[in-house]
Chain A
Amino acid sequence: MSAALKVTRPGLFDTLQDFGRIGFMALGMPTAGAMDRVGLRLANALCGNPAGMAGLEIGVMGPDLLVEADSVRIALVGPLSPALLEAPDAPPKPLEADRTHLLKRGQVLKVGMIEGASTAYLAVAGGFALPAFMGSLSTYARAGVGGFQGRKLAQGDCLPLAREQALPGDERKLGQPFDYGSGPIRIVWGPQDDHFSVRGRRTFTEAEYRVSKEADRMGIRFEGPTIEHAVSVDKGGADIISDGIGPGAIQVPGAGLPIVLLADRQTVGGYPKIATVASVDLPRLGRLLPGQTVRFAPVTVEEAERLRRDQEARIERTVAGFVAARPPGGIDLVRLYEENLIDGIVYERDHASR
């Protein structure tokens, strides 16, 4: 029997994502990919996977997954509340996030709710055994491509695993949680900031904007004060000849409210884009929930590039700072309870040899 994780209860919007389908925007193909590339990357790093391997992006509420493999090592990254592990003959056990866990055949991982954010990640060591489409496993549900059958996970889906069983090794966890930052969302003016009046640009950077209910992988519609176009909307002030849409582009249609375009955004569009979210803060956008508020603060392209390099260095330090997920002294209580309920005794050397 081949190894798999079986969805016994689907979550709200769980899709497989990697770093996106790169190189086909000229054919109208959106890149898709992880909404929070930092979260996916940390989950992969915990598992020992390449940074951009496809993992499961959890949207708001995660699935229940039955382990149909001898064993599988997973990493959960994100503010989960917390996940539960159920086994046929044992009480449910809470599982911490931001670390790896070794799961055994017959156990059910209940990922559960995310708290205070929209997005979390589950990576499996070795990855999923699914075919890439146009070079990527990222799910783009609007065209039904990538990931698992081109869609979010549903009841009964069996996600095939690349490894029949987990490799030996210790569980690992983040030394400290990754700091996504908390100030205003950094933006770079353009490409069409000149389509807005001075007053409109001031409104955009001085007001607070709230995430509306219309927020998904394609983008986030914000609520707040309207942004004035330079030329009145009935004279075409909200129309441009369509041009390319980069990640984090903030388009402002005639109604004057900003829409930040994210992973599943279309490749070209005809609304003026007042600004673009600096890539350092895209993971924050990818985690926002309806009702949360943000402010936008301009930086230059050079500053945005430097912020991104700094963030990269912080991610690398976080990865270098992973620690073994067991208490000082060497005994892993989780394993102790999992594996030694019959004997009741465990020796240090048993763990050292694993």
Chain B
Amino acid sequence: MLAGPRGQAILADVSVRYLSCGDTAFTVEFGNEISPEINGRVMALHAAIGRATGAGGLPGVVETVPTMRSLMVSYDPLATSRARLEPEIDALIARGLPAGGASRHVSIPCCYDDPEFAPDLAEVAKRTKKTTEQVIAAHLASPFKVYVLGFMPGLAYVAGLDQALYLPRRSQPRVRLPRSSVAIAMDMTTIYPFESPGGWHLIGRTPLWMFDQRREQPVFLAPGDWLSFQRIDRKNFDRIARAVEAGTFDWATLVQDA
């Protein structure tokens, strides 16, 4: 890894694998493990391709899908070809990708106090040999980062949970859990954008909706976001929930550009 302008790491010596996804996409795989370094490269290439297509480059590239360790590039086989694109992606990587790049810091209000919101909090505390307050404090202090969105629109896989709270998924997934439930499993946390089935441990609920089709940008979180939780009481929960429901909540107050 070379040192770039302003001390940013430049990823020029990265070797990647190209995996075929038919004739409309391919996956650029940076490694076979989950690590912040590898994901940083994925996000850097995601951003670099976005900049290139935004400037009219890479004709035929349709969109890119970042995951923990790879980037899927989808393309229109009537406008370009795999043989034309692969060297162009190679060249982008060889030119050096600024690691990191612009990312937001997002603050999520979360109410841990109501047993209805946090049915698994006591069990998590018991299994991790902590008090419920210590579990909440560890969740609040965890440096979370959004790695991938998927499974359903707006569902974010957010890693960085304090290792002391590490638990496997529940052996019996719930068939239905409420929208906006805040849950943990393994080294991750998530917020359910819809009422849905789920196997993670519910420790709180946010009054925010992670997916709201009335918003210009219906999905709130994005890959690469840093994320932390702010504790709120039930009264504040209800106040924010009413504003969210009415569509009057000011979402910009939750976001800082890093």
Chain A residues engaging chain B, CB cutoff 8 angstroms? 22-30, 133-134, 140, 142-145, 150, 187-192, 241-249, 266-269, 273, 276-280, 301-302, 304-305, 307-309, 312
Residues on B with C-beta less than 8 A from A273 are 21
- When the two chains form the complex, which single residue of A23, A29, A248, A308 contacts B153, counting CB atoms closer than 8 Å? A29
A276 near B150 with CB under 8 A, answer: no
> What distance in Å separates the Cβ of A141 from its nearest Cβ neighbour in chain B?
12
State whether B153 touches A26 (Cβ < 8 A).
Answer: no
Q: Whole-angstrom distance from the CB of B40 to the nearest CB of chain A?
A: 16
A241 touches B150 (CB 8 A): no
* A contact residues around B149 at 8 Å (CB): 26-28, 267
Within 8 A of A (CB), among B192-223: 194, 211, 213, 218-219, 222-223
Report Cα–Cα, A249/B69, bound state, in Å: 19
B22 an interface residue at 8 Å Cβ cutoff?
A: yes
A–B complex contacts, Cβ < 8 Å, 25 sampled? A24-B63, A24-B153, A25-B65, A26-B223, A27-B222, A28-B153, A28-B156, A29-B219, A30-B153, A145-B213, A191-B19, A241-B32, A242-B67, A242-B68, A243-B27, A243-B67, A246-B22, A247-B25, A249-B21, A267-B149, A268-B151, A269-B150, A276-B20, A278-B22, A301-B23
Complex: how many Å from CA A305 to CA B33?
Answer: 31
- The yes or no answer to B148 lying at the interface (CB within 8 A) is yes
Please tell me if the beta carbons of B21 and A244 are within 8 angstroms of each other in the complex: yes
B252 on interface, CB distance cutoff 8 Å: no
Contacts of B19 in A (CB 8 A): 190-192
B64 at the interface (CB under 8 A from A): yes
> Contact: B152 with A243, CB < 8 Å?
no
**Contacts known (A22-B63, A145-B213, A302-B82); A246 close to B150, Cβ less than 8 A:** no
Contacts of A144 in B (CB 8 A): 213
> A142–B152 Cα gap in the complex (Å)?
8
The reply to whether B150 and A188 form a contact with Cβ atoms under 8 Å apart is no
Known: A143-B211, A244-B27, A246-B74. A26 touches B20 (CB 8 A): no
Q: How far is the CB of B149 from chain A (nearest CB, A)?
A: 4
- Evaluate contact between B20 and A301: CB separation under 8 angstroms: yes
The one of B24, B25, B64 in contact with A26, judged by C-beta atoms closer than 8 angstroms, is B64
For B22, give its contact among A142, A192, A243, A248 (CB under 8 Å): A248
Residue in A closest to B34 when the chains form the complex, CB atoms: A241
